[in-house]
Amino acid sequence: MIKRIIDISEPAYLHLKNKQLFIDKDKVTVGKIPIEDIGIIILENSQITLTQASIIACQKNNTAIVFCDERHLPYSLLLPISDGNALHNKVLRSQIEMSKPCKKQLWKQIVHNKIIQQSLTLQKARKNTTQLNRLAKKIKSGDPENIEAQAAKKYWHLLFGDKFRRNINETGINSLLNYGYSIVRAMTARAVVGSGLHPALGVFHQNQYNGLCLVDDLMEPFRPWIDWLVFNLSTNNPNSNFEVNKQNKSLFLKLPSEMVEFNNKTMPLMVACHYLVSDFKKSFKNNNFKLIYPNWSRQLSLQ
């Protein structure tokens, strides 16, 4: 079953009743959703109140809870630390013992998949893909030449023009990219924790202050999907100020339920993400393991 993404942007009181999340506004219940149906909750208002019982129920269901800042952009992510997987200790030991050559090979594959997806996004946007296709062939184990950064520099200019600069602190297109990436990050984090993996133990990202290093590794090839949605929005609405509003957010909130192609099967992206993480665990003791990422489905409805 596809898990729902719930976005709450107004003052509300969230509480648990009969295994359902009740949403009250001004002491009136305006919505109720079975806990088991919820995959991600996004909380955008500082006046939202949650009961401890509702938080624990969501965590037991492996629901990712995203808290937003005053700019309405995701700031923190709450995930369960237990019950994610019955074999958590065994999986964690294997993850810790992953060899350096294995990590380097995996990072090479992740970067390659990311650049291929960037090239596909450029192709959909009717931009030149020659430079990125050439760079994709040069990636070595561990990406010592930082081909990822070289590709990104060319990619952003090709997609949004020479004046565009990717800056997480800027508004407009950058704020939409931030919001879209946060949806993919929450989706990937949910799959990582549900598989028994520790999200802080990354393959490439190693920041000691980042509790989601592995999530940030695995989600990289999904970023160009968000880029395409933002590009398409900017093309169809050239005079828009690109605020993170209800209308624009709906584009990104639909993405996890969109159909993709994975291992010759068609399935929702959220489901494919769980299979991807499951496959990732098979690479722990196999330096030659090939990590397969989902592809845009021919029936993809996002435009």
pLDDT per residue as tens digits for the range 228-283: 999 999 888 766 778 888 888 888 999 999 999 999 999 999 999 999 999 998 88
Q: How far out from the chain centre does Cα 190 lie?
A: 9
Topology at the third CATH level for domain 88-296: Four Helix Bundle (Hemerythrin (Met), subunit A) (1.20.120)
Instruction: Write down the mean pLDDT value for the chain.
Output: 89
Q: How far is CA 239 from CA 160, 164, 194, in A?
A: 15, 16, 42
pLDDT at residue 114, rounded to an integer: 97
Between CA 40 and CA 184 the distance in angstroms is 11
Lowest mean pLDDT among 27-31, 111-115, 195-199: 195-199
Cα Rg of the chain, angstroms? 19
Of residues 297 and 131, more confidence is placed in 131
Of residues 298 and 60, more confidence is placed in 60
Q: Quick check: 302 pLDDT over 70?
A: no
Torsion of CA 267, 272, 274, 278, to 10 degrees: 120
pLDDT at residue 297, rounded to an integer: 63
Lowest mean pLDDT among 40-44, 180-184, 202-206, 272-276: 202-206
pLDDT at residue 90, rounded to an integer: 76
pLDDT per residue as tens digits for the range 80-137: 866 554 556 777 888 888 889 999 999 999 999 999 999 999 999 999 999 999 999 9
Judge if 4-78 and 88-296 fold alike in CATH terms: no
Looking at residues 140-157, what average pLDDT do you find?
96
Q: Is 238 exposed, middle or buried (0-12, 13-18, 19+ CB in 10 A)?
A: exposed
Residue 46: what are its φ and ψ, rounded to 5°?
-70, -10
How large a percentage of the chain has pLDDT more than 90?
A: 62
Q: Quick check: 207 pLDDT over 90?
A: no
Between CA 253 and CA 9 the distance in angstroms is 14
How large a percentage of the chain has pLDDT more than 70?
A: 93
Domain ranges of the chain: 4-78, 88-296
User: Can you give 230-241 as a three-state secondary structure string?
Assistant: HHHHHHHCCCCC
pLDDT per residue as tens digits for the range 159-172: 999 999 999 888 88
Give the CATH number of domain 4-78; options: 3.90.25.10, 3.40.50.20, 3.100.10.20, 3.40.50.620.
Answer: 3.100.10.20
Between CA 288 and CA 105 the distance in angstroms is 8
Q: Given pLDDT bands bounded at 50, 70 and 90, which one contains residue 205?
A: confident
Of residues 286 and 3, more confidence is placed in 3
Q: Quick check: 301 pLDDT over 50?
A: no
Q: Indicate the DSSP class of residue 292.
A: P
